[in-house]
Structure 1
Amino acid sequence: MNAAVSATRVNAMLTAAVTHHDAGRFLKALPHFRKYLKRRPDDVAALNMASFAAFQTDHADIALNWLNMAKATDPNDAQTFYNLGLVNQSVGLCEDAANAYHRAAELDPDFGSAHFNLGTTLTQLDRLEDAIAAFDRAIGINPEHGKALSSKGYVLHTQGKYDEAAFVYGRAVSILFGDPEPLIGLGKCLQDAGRLAEAASAFARAVDANPHDAEAISNLANVMVQRGDAEDAVATCDVFLAHHPASTSVLAAKSVALNETGNTDAARQLVDLERFVTPIRQLHAPGFKNMEIFNAAMVGHAENHPTLAVAPTSHATRLGKHSADLTAKPKGPVAAFEKMIGRGVEEFIERLGSSSEHPFIAHRPRKWHLAVWAIVLEGKGYQVSHIHRSAWLSGVYYAQVPSVVDGKGQRGWIEFGEPGPEYHWSVKPETRRIKPEPGLMVLFPSYTFHRTIPFESDETRISIAFDVVPDI
């Protein structure tokens, strides 16, 4: 009788967990899964469902633990390995993700999503030929797999195979009707191939597909500038900004176009490097005796972070290493750093004031979250000019700086103002350089172009970058 009652209670735990899970109430599902799995730790299906609930509530560590339990119970379950790939990829453990996706595809060769996600992970790892092979397997399973075709087009474009990439993108466009993504990819490919009229047409079609797509607009404005139509580029940006005034990528594109028209006053007002680029010296780290101890802790955390890897060519970092998001647990000294960022953002906002017609000030987000990552540069490492498209405000903190920054040429300094390599410009913009120093935090609007002046050194330069990302 007692065994029957116990079995009934255990089943009730699973029923409650699954009910909450299927209704999308993942946080409420977790305690029921925990209770059930204490009694049935070998239920692979429940472990997979529980891991999904944990993953959806930002508990990737718990999700990985449950998935590893499922793998130990049944080492031949393709879904378990696929889910391991998803979680590992999301937290930046790309090698582990690739291995998991590969195993899922081995166990189930017709698992198209495993092949596709393996391709995306291999692309992140810069293993481009292997990525193409994975995408081809996904396309072989489903010839109408538009996302796999579009992703293959991206890799071919990255390899400089413009004609092949354009053909593959064209197939993706015909399948993903109304999706601007493959059209934007096609436009970039055609632009790099020098086929500017065709590129402009592709970007215009992307805008038609989704008039609210900031990347479509910013790329259209960019090719307009390259074709000598800077005034039209400004007008195109303004139409979009009338509805989306805080769009980072479109504000950046507009700043380039304004400078090309010769309207340097308007460009200066929009970018305003002297006003908006804000160095803040950090004097205290919560929980640390002094800044030297804190900086040493941040250096160790960055250098030993499991996601730190050589940055792929798709990143702004060149000849250096890049981590995934450092806000994932265990945070270590990043927990204190988040508080320091909060103080810095408050100080930055207070300096701006509350009333302004400037779009950056007038449309600051009411709610936001942080993304934080480490950049480790050594030897000849540097960062090309770039912006942070998904954020409102960005920043960098210097934990360790090589002595070369004290020498001639401002090597290793951070420079603001010069557009990135994907933009086409001829008029030299105004720039501002700031010398990195341990304990210095620099905040700036996310649409502000910034880069590292290349340097050579036997010492390592370790910075912690972050974004203030609006909650939509």
Structure 2
Amino acid sequence: MKAQGDLRGAAACYAQAVAARPDSAVAEHNLASVLGDLNDFAGAAAAAARAIAKGGDAPETWLVRGRALQGLGELDAADDALATAVARRPDYAVAHRDLAQLRWMRSADVGHALTAIERAPSTAALTQVKATVLMEAGDDDRAAAVLRAALASEPGHVGLRLLAAQVAARLGDAEGQLAQASAALRAASASIEAAKAVAEALLHAGRAGEAAALAARIVAAVPDDQGAIAVQATAWRLIGDPRYVALCEDPALVSVTTIETPAGWADLGAFLTDLTSELATRHRWRTHPLEQSVRHGSQTQEDLAQLDVPVVRALFAALDAPIRAHIAGLGSGTDPVRRRVAADYRFAGAWSVRLSPGGFHSDHVHPRGWLSSAFYVALPEAVEREPEGWLALGRPGITTQPALGPVRHIRPRPGQLVLFPSYLWHGTEPFAGEASRLSVAFDLLPA
């Protein structure tokens, strides 16, 4: 049931397992894990505590408990639980990443974020976490040095090579990026991620024709990988291939709609005010999470589509009509969006972002999505000044030679929903002033 996405059914089965084996710590752990996936953080924390009380002292259980406590906003207790997980297994990279991210988002202090990792054994997995934190803090030179030292010991490690390629790209070193990505592909010739990294490096090196040829092979192997489609589209744009226009500039692929006022509110402004208040309680971070597009802002860490809060449920109910209208307006076709149209859709994650003045989203795509979105809740006055705080479409989030700009800007308005293909590069422009910019985003998949 869990593998099929039926988390509530899985939770019911795990609860039956707990009832059948009341002394089983494993049964409690499994229940805690799926309750966490359901955003039932109180239930997950309680089940994890019962698992521990029944003798389940595994680091995995402390990780589940730490995540649940973080979801409840009990951040000190979450820190303690995650620290216990890494104490139980000092090289537990998944728990180290969660702990480092929690500390980073709370403090914006890279030294504090890396405290536990600095005391842990030196492994390739932990080096990747450390380098990722350094990159998020903007210390690319130090990240490069950490990766260089690790690769001296493990030259064939694909993950280290791919991160080294990313750092080289950020430092403007196209030759180094291509060398690192190529080494990763030689070490894992079947790796889609390594192949995409080589294609991106070729674009940085000004070899768009070669990148297009490689991207075509990648897309043929993984036709729904939105990152691969984005690389191919970028190569097409650089070489003047007319297929780029059909793939990225077709007007039907992007829709802009204002939602109807949900039932129970006098007008849309009143609804957005209540939604703003609810989301504000969930933005408890000083800075952005790891490996996301947010810069100078915060991002919620729970799936809003699973949240059982009236104003949030009302939002997703109000989003249904414009989503269905957008999908209906696509029509049929063989392109990467239309060929996947199905009888229904489902949410594949939803979150909120609050950008501070000067904040922005770096340009990015959603590799595992189909349709992506931006819904605007509260906006600063700065959006009156084009293009401050505006949505930018089409500007690659990878370095290209020559550089490419956006193909379209969309001015955000409160209550407005923008839908677009997940492979379409998108980001936001920085904005000035004193007010923040609050939005909700989600990915959709066919169902």
TM-score (norm 2): 0.82
C-alpha displacement of 1:260: 1.9
Output the amino acid matched with 2:48.
Answer: L
SS in 2 for 1:458: coil
CA distance in 1, matches of 2:185, 2:71: 29
Give the number of the structure whose alpha-carbon radius of gyration is greater. 1
Deviations 1:116-168 (A, max 9, x none): 653454456554334444234332xxx5x432233234345552225523334
Report how many aligned residue pairs link the two structures. Answer: 430
CA RMSD of aligned residues (A): 3.6
Q: What aligned pairs does 1:254-293 form with structure 2 within 5 A after superposition?
A: 254-263=232-241, 265-272=242-249, 274-293=251-270
Where does residue 347 of structure 1 map in the other structure? 325
Long gaps (5+) in structure 1: 1-23
Identify the range of structure 1 (212-221 vs 111-120) with the bigger mean alpha-carbon deviation: 111-120
- Paired with 1:314 and 1:54, the residues of 2 have a C-alpha distance of 25
TM alignment of 1:297-312, pairs within 5 A? 297-305=274-282, 309-312=286-289
Q: CA deviation at 1:393?
A: 0.7
Query: What's 2:272 paired with?
Result: 295
* Alignment partner, residue 17 of structure 1: none
Counterparts of 2:73 and 2:159, CA distance in 1: 23
| Alignment partners' CA distance in 2, 1:236 and 1:98 | 44
1:317 to 2:291 alignment: no
Taking CA–CA contacts closer than 8 Å with sequence separation of 6 or more, which of the two structures ends up with the larger relative contact order? Answer: 2
Per-residue CA distance 1:381-403 (angstroms, 9 max, x = gap): 22222222221111111112223
Looking at structure 2, the residues matched to 369 and 424 of structure 1 have their Cα atoms a distance apart, in angstroms, of 32
* Paired letter, 2:310: G
Distance of 2:247 and 2:139 partners within structure 1: 35
> Aligned partners of 1:242, 1:76: CA distance in 2, in Å?
46
Matched, 1:147 2:125: yes
Pair 105,209 (structure 1): closer, same or farther in 2 beyond 3 Å: closer
2:14 equivalent to 1:29:
yes
Q: Structure 2 vs 1, CA of residues 154 and 376 (structure 1 numbering), >3 Å: closer, same or farther?
A: closer
- Corresponding residue to 1:456 among 392, 408, 432: 432
Q: Does structure 2 conserve the Cα–Cα contact (< 8 Å) formed by 1:277 and 1:442?
A: yes
- TM-fit CA distance, 1:367: 5.7
With the length of structure 1 as denominator, give the TM-score of the two structures: 0.78
Of residues 155, 159, 171, the one that matches 2:139 is 159
- Please state how far the C-alpha of 1:323 moved relative to its aligned partner: 1.2
* 1:194–1:418 Cα change, 3 Å: closer
User: 1:425-445: CA deviations, max 9, x gaps?
Assistant: 425455211121111110011
Asked if 1 retains the 8 angstrom alpha-carbon contact of 2:371 and 2:419, the reply is yes
Amino acid in structure 2 at the alignment position of 1:159: D
Q: Identify the residue that residue 243 of structure 1 maps to in structure 2.
A: 221
For 1:305 and 1:32, locate their aligned partners in 2 and report how far apart those are by CA, in whole Å.
33
Instruction: Indicate whether 1:200 and 2:185 are aligned.
Output: no
Q: Secondary structure at the match of 1:373?
A: strand
Question: Is the deviation greater in 155-164 or in 446-455?
Answer: 155-164
1:50 positional shift: 4.2
2:412 to 436, 447, 453: 436
2:386 matches 1:405: no
Q: What fraction of aligned residue pairs are identical, expressed as a percent?
A: 21
Deviation at 1:353, TM superposition (A): 0.5
Aligned partners of 1:30, 1:246: CA distance in 2, in Å? 36
Residue 367 of structure 2: which of 372, 389, 413 is its match? 389
Determine whether 1:64 maps to 2:45: yes
**Distance (Å, rounded) in 2 between the aligned partners of 1:163 and 1:436:** 37
* Distance change in 2, residues 1:226/1:131 (3 Å): same
Contact 2:376–2:438 (CA under 8 A) maintained in structure 1? yes
1:425–1:364: structure 2 CA closer, same or farther, 3 Å change rule?
Answer: farther
Cα pair 1:82 1:101 within 8 Å, conserved: yes
| Amino acid paired to 1:371 | G
Gaps of 5+ in 2: 1-8
